[in-house]
Amino acid sequence: MTNLSPFDIQARPNRLLAQALSCVLFVVCIGLYMHTSVERHKENAEDRVVPSGHQLVAGIRSAVLEPAEEDDYIPAESASTWERLRHSMIWKDTASSGGRFFISLALLIPFVVLAVHIGLFPWFGAGFLRFFLFFDKIVALSLLPILFIAFGIDQWSKIALIVIGVAPTMILDVTQMVKAVPQEQIVKAFTLDANNFDVAYRVVFRQVLPQVINSLRLNLKPMMLFLFAGEMIAASDGLAYRIAIMRRHMGMDVILPYVLWVALLLFLIDFSLRVINRRLHPWFQA
Amino acid sequence: MQSKRLGTFSLLCSLALLVGFSDAATASAQAPTFTVGWSVYAGWNPYFYMQKSGILKKWADKYGIAIKVQRFDYAASLDSFVAKNIDACAMTNMEALDMPAAAGVDSTAIIVGDYSNGNDAVLVRDNLTFQTLPSKPVMLVQKTVSEYLLERGMVLNGQQAQLGKLHLINTSDSDIVAAFLNNKSNEAVVTWKPLVSQIVADKSVHSIFDSSKIPGEIMDLMVVRSEVLNTPNGQKFARALTGAWYETIQQVAAGQANALKYSAAASGDSVESYKEQLKTTALFVSPKSAVDFTDGPEVQQKMDLVRLFCFKHGLLGQGIHSVDDVAIAYPNGTVQGNKARVRLRFNSAYMQAAEQGKL
Amino acid sequence: MVSGMSTPEMTAGLHLIGEQATRAAAKAKVQAAKSISIEDVSVSYALERSARRCVLENISLEIEEGEFVVLLGETGCGKSTLLRMLLGQERPTAGQISVAGSRVERVDARSGYVPQRYSLFPDRSVLDNLMMGPLTSKFHILGRLRPSYWEARRAVKAEAFRQITHMGLQASDAGKYPYQLSGGMQQRVAIAQALMMKNRVLLMDEAFSALDPSTRSSLQRLLRSVWSETRPTVVFVTHNTAEALFLGTRLIVLARESKDDACGSRVTLDMKLAEGGMTLRTHGQEFLDLVEHVEAVSCGQRLTAPGERRTASDAWGEELGRVEPVRVSPEDGVRQ
């Protein structure tokens, strides 16, 4: 008889049961949703707060196949499915949000490099560390009006918001990683005639890179959060822009698919970073 | 035994979630307590005074019910109303149509409080006109009366054909002033007071169109869920609220110091600034003026423009294929749209009762 | 050789190399043969309230080319601090240190280094670890873009494979990452990595302390044989007396004579050892006596006159009851 007590640390759940258990909460959530939706639709057939499966399918269809309202309408007959997809609302929004996301991701690279310097070179540490410790505690969102002055209301203020929001945390995190590299490694590298930049980039940076990628994985969600905040405040396209607009008339039938789509995208980015990390750094075990 | 315990646990979890969803709705239906939601706006700020001064309690006591007043952000107040967490809510005619009505929540406007008579404005820099506007980015809160005002401005200035070329930037009202003023390359903005006053303080910005040019099209209503109104207690609630409202608004209009002080404080404005906002708000101070307006033919014309705008912008929802599917009923019995699908009703009975002193 | 045991210096239990007067005169003459010189070095740290903790006090040592010096002492006696100063990782509070003919200011490639842990770069294969030294010294970070890099790399690679077999590793280990190697193999690679630089000075900090006894003894034998081939100057820090007696040609014990913070460690024993190493098997009683003596000295005690030395059995009984048990495996003289 298997031990089924949930409060037994030494329990050895059998595989099948454990798998089944891991699905339970998903099923409960879906069930709860469907129940609420059915109840609400019994009372009000046009309820939009908890859209029914029907409404959701219609919402997904319009998001995936129909162009955004501000764009030109493409008649269903004259275009292939692929073309309709290419000009669809969700494609357009994903492309513009994705652009912002990846530009900010690229802009984080110099900050990671700076962090390696801060952790390794005493003069850099003296100059920057305290500032970033302080800056990290600033709530980036509250700086928005300043960002608007400096970067305008287009693309760059949103990107700046993400970078300002995430970079200090990344810098402090990476600085810690660099400082955790054993002193022996650095001394050894110098005895092998490495110069300062060899030590910084070919010894320390290489060693912390997998941890940096892991830290980035943890920061994906804050990045998305900042992107959403930016897009909800001022934008003319983007995933969060659409959600903000849809909220105006309770278009939950479109909002819910969008939310799930964003979750899926984040999961995929995270997953691919994990795979890349494992491929690139077979020696890294954590 | 063990698995049973686990089962009980998950059952409890789901119960907790369910209760969270439904308690607000059931609670308000059982007790004779009603909740009114309002948000910051010149025409709605008096609700704050109404509560603070005890006028509301006096009227509620008269009818033997309890009325709670709750301040929300505008969007949140609409969400709560649609989710049936509150029984009545202050909103514009446009939102009344595209939020509760279009979401299938049958709603009734029992008070037409005012219409915007210059509160909303299209502001530009550098002598921009409606002819040159389409090439420039325009900042506004999209899908609200701001966008409606902009379109009406374009149409009334003969630029209907250019509507599709407008480049709109959806900007949150909490940041729109800073975002617009801080960058000279932003040339046009559509917003409402008191934000308008803050923006025109910059001398290079001026108004090219405002809601006084479309009088009566942007109305501010007190909307009650029809199903609440159809219960005896609900009718008491509507009567009490209407009575309290006219007592309040008459004090405000008469310039009573406390009434103005509290109403201004509701939005954190100075009394001066609040008075300035009232100037561009066409308040229906007497119930008679409100009844005359609501029962008149004009309302139907204005609502027609609004419902066509909502439909064109998809605000009535994905599933609505005809503008007539969200129909509007008027006090004289006429129905705009499909008679079987009336979702928004204008009801002047309570205002009439106030006019006749029968509350 | 082992007769060094009974020299007068030995009986005194203390032998400081040179004396102030003769040193200055001898300096110019021995310069060529001298590999490491430590002159009047003291190290102390500031504690709170202007108090200072002295770690090393007036250390002066001259180490000649080709010596295998073992630095012995209890935990916290400052032997690792001394090694770090030889590396350039730390600077003395007073005095100065020269290695290979010039003052040590910073860590550089004049000496090879084998630490106890983290001796290999975890992100590089064994081969890359070995090639790293010779390649970086010719091609710094962007230098690898030069075409001559690949030619040089081939040459270094051949040398690396020679070292791999020399160290008793398989050629198939070349592609492995450090985490795939046992501790002993890692240290073999670490030694090879240092040897690749063909340094005349090799600094080793408790290099074998984390290894199990049998691995440890085979690495000790490996180190001895590698050393005897080219005879570089080695400074080997350990706290294991048997290891010290087996490896070194010269034994230096650092010890603190008082618990007082203001009083740092000094050189309390400096003696030549038998060339070829001492073990229990080869030297028997002599070895045991020496172990006992050295350990007493490193505890800060002075041993009584040599005449009072006990017999082996006495010593065993005493040791067991008094200090920690000393087990000397007859095989290789490693104390666990």
Which of B178, B213, B248 is a domain's end point? Answer: B213
Residues C8 and C24 in one domain: yes
Residue C74 lies in a domain: yes
Same domain, B124 and B107: no
Q: What is the pLDDT of residues A142-162, one digit of tens each?
A: 887 788 878 877 888 899 999
Same domain? For B159 and B104 the reply is: no
Helix ranges (DSSP H) in A152-251: 155-180, 183-191, 196-197, 206-233, 239-248
Measured in angstroms, the CA of C76 and the nearest CA of chain A are apart by 19
Domain end residue (candidates: B213, B232, B254): B213
Domain count, chain A: 1
State yes or no: chains A and C have 3 or more CB pairs below 8 A: yes
- B313: pLDDT strictly greater than 70: yes
Range of lowest pLDDT (A88-97, C84-93, C305-314): C305-314
Q: What are the chain A neighbours of B99 within 8 Å (beta carbons)?
A: 249-250
Number of folded domains that form chain B: 2
Domain count for chain C, please give it. 2
C76 — pLDDT class (breaks 50, 70, 90): confident
CB contact under 8 Å between A193 and C119, yes or no, is no
pLDDT at C323 exceeding the cut of 50: no
Q: Rounded to an integer, what distance in angstroms lies between the CA atom of residue C329 and that of residue A197? A: 47
Same domain, B128 and B79: no
Residue A84: HSE in the Cβ half-sphere, 13 Å Cα cutoff: 15
Distance from CA of A191 to the nearest CA of C (A): 4
B3 touches chain A (CB under 8 A): yes
Same domain for C76 and C144, yes or no, is no
What pLDDT is stored for residue B31 in this prediction? 55
- C301 confidence band (pLDDT: 50, 70, 90): low
Task: Examine residue A19 and state whether it is found in any structural domain, yes or no.
Answer: no
pLDDT beyond 60 at C133: yes
C293 in any annotated domain: yes
What pLDDT score was predicted for residue C15? 38
Average pLDDT, chain C: 79
C149 and C14 fall within a common domain: no
**B260 and B296 housed in the same domain:** yes
- Asked, for residue B16, whether it belongs to a domain, the answer is no
- CB-based contact A54:A37 (threshold 8 Å): no
Last residue of a domain, one of B213, B230, B261: B213
Q: Quick one: pLDDT at residue A1?
A: 54
| Residue B127 binned pLDDT confidence (cut-offs 50, 70, 90) | confident
Position A10 in a domain: no
Look at residue C306 in the predicted model and tell me its pLDDT.
40
Task: Judge whether B4 lies within some domain.
Answer: no
Give contacts of A59 with chain B, Cβ < 8 Å. 318
The domain spanning residue B46 has which CATH number? 3.40.190.10
Query: Shortest CB distance from A192 goes to which of C106, C123, C133?
Result: C133
| DSSP result, B332-347 | TS-EES-GGGEEEEE-
The reply to whether A50 falls in a domain is: no
Query: Which residues 6+ apart lie within 8 Å of C317 measured at CB?
Result: none
Q: Which of C198, C227, C245 is the last residue of a domain?
A: C198
Query: For C48-68, what is the mean pLDDT?
Result: 87
- Residue A169, domain extent: 86-280
Q: Which pLDDT does position C33 carry in this prediction? A: 64
Range of the domain at C83: 1-93+201-336
Check C141 against A198: CB less than 8 A apart: yes
Instruction: Provide the chain B residues 111-140 that lie in CB contact (below 8 A) with chain A.
Output: 137, 139
* Among the partner residues A182, A193, A284, nearest to C109 by beta-carbon distance: A193
Length of chain B counted residue by residue: 359
Question: What's residue C299's pLDDT?
Answer: 77
Interface check for C137 against chain A (CB to CB < 8 A): the answer is yes
Q: Tell me if B171 and A241 make a contact (CB, 8 A cut-off).
A: no
Do residue B83 and residue B229 come from a single domain?
yes
Q: Which of C151, C178, C198 is the last residue of a domain?
A: C198
Higher-confidence residue of B209 and C50: namely B209
Substitution target from C83, C118, C135, C139 for chain A, most A beta carbons within 10 A? C118
Residue B204: exposed, middle, or buried by beta-carbon count in 10 A (0-12, 13-18, 19+)?
A: exposed
In a domain, A56, yes or no: no
Chain C CB within 8 Å of residue A121 CB: no
Instruction: Compute the radius of gyration of chain C from its Cα atoms.
Output: 21
Does residue B190 lie within any of the structural domains? yes
Structure tokens given for C140 = 């710094």
What stretches of A44-199 adopt beta strand conformation (E)?
Answer: none
Report CB contact under 8 Å: C87, A195: no
Q: Averaged over C283-311, what is the pLDDT?
A: 68
In this predicted structure, the answer to whether residue B112 has a pLDDT above a threshold of 70 is yes
Considering the domain architecture, whether residues B260 and B148 belong to the same structural domain is answered as no
Residue B267 in any domain: the answer is yes
Q: What is the pLDDT of residues B37-87, one digit of tens each?
A: 999 888 999 999 999 999 999 999 999 999 999 998 888 899 899 988 999
Residues B250 and B321 in one domain: yes
> What band does C98 get if pLDDT is binned at 50, 70 and 90?
very high
Token digits for C183? Answer: 């501790």
Q: What share of chain A is helix, strand, coil (3-state, %, to 5)?
A: 75, 0, 25
Please tell me the distance from the alpha carbon of residue B229 to that of residue B59, in angstroms, as a whole number.
17
Q: Are residues B86 and B234 in the same domain?
A: yes
Give yes or no for C132 touching A (CB within 8 A): yes
**Residues C323, C305 within the same domain:** yes
Put simply, the answer to whether A184 touches C117 (Cβ < 8 Å) is yes
Tell me: do B327 and B341 sit in the same domain. Answer: yes
Q: Indicate whether C223 and C323 sit together in one domain.
A: yes
* Token duo for residue B346: 């204008």
The percentage of residues in chain B with a pLDDT greater than 90, rounded to a whole number, is 64
What ipTM, to 2 d.p.?
A: 0.82
Question: C247 and C301 in one domain?
Answer: yes
Percent of chain A with pLDDT over 90: 64
| Residue B44 in domain | yes
Examine the domain organization and report whether B73 and B162 are in the same domain: no
Distance from CA of C152 to the nearest CA of A (A): 16
* Helix/strand/coil percentages in chain B, nearest 5: 50, 20, 30
Chain A residue with the nearest C-alpha to that of C109: A191
Residues 6+ apart with CB under 8 A from C299: C74, C255, C323
Reported as a single tens digit per residue, the pLDDT across C25-36 is 444 444 446 789
| In a domain? residue A200 | yes
Whether A59 maps to a domain, the answer reads: no
Q: In angstroms, what separates the C-alpha of A92 from chain B's closest C-alpha? A: 16
Distance between CA atoms of residues C184 and C199, nearest Å? 22
Pair (B34, B183) in one structural domain: no
Indicate the angle between helix axes A53-65 and A252-280, nearest 10 degrees: 70
Question: Is residue A73 assigned to a domain?
Answer: no
pLDDT, residue C46, reads 84
pLDDT of residue A13: 85
CA dihedral of residues A162, A168, A170, A174 (deg, nearest 10): 160
Mean pLDDT is lowest, of C173-177, C203-207, C231-235, C294-298, for C294-298
Total residue length of chain C: 336
Cis? peptide before B194, omega within 30° of 0: yes
Q: What is the pLDDT of residue A72?
A: 73
Summarize pLDDT for C253-266 with one digit per residue, the tens: 988 877 777 788 88
C223 & C315 share domain: yes
3-state SS of A262-282 is HHHHHHHHHHHHHHHHHHHCC
Residue B131 domain boundaries: 120-213
Confirm whether B61 is domain-assigned: yes
Task: For residue B150, give every residue at least 6 positions away whose Cβ sits within 8 Å of its Cβ, in sequence order, or none.
Answer: B122, B138, B140, B166, B190, B209
Co-location of C145 and C185 in the same domain? yes
Q: Which of C198, C218, C248 is the C-terminal boundary of a domain?
A: C198
A36 in any annotated domain = no
* C194 plus C205 within the same structural domain: no
pLDDT at residue number C2: 39
C100 is a domain residue: no
Instruction: Inform me whether the pLDDT recorded for C322 exceeds 50.
Output: no
Residues C47 and C149 occupy one common structural domain: no
Q: Domain containing C220 — which CATH number?
A: 3.40.50.300
CATH number of the domain bearing residue A255:
1.10.3720.10
Residues B57 and B181 in one domain: no
Task: Give the confidence band of C45 by pLDDT, cuts at 50, 70, 90.
Answer: confident
Cβ neighbours of residue A199 closer than 8 Å, sequence gap 6 or more: A120, A186, A189, A190
Q: Do C81 and C210 belong together in one domain?
A: yes
Chain A CB contacts of C86 under 8 Å are none
Can you give the pLDDT at residue C12? Answer: 37
Q: Which residues of chain A have pLDDT under 50?
A: none
Same domain membership, residue C74 and residue C218:
yes
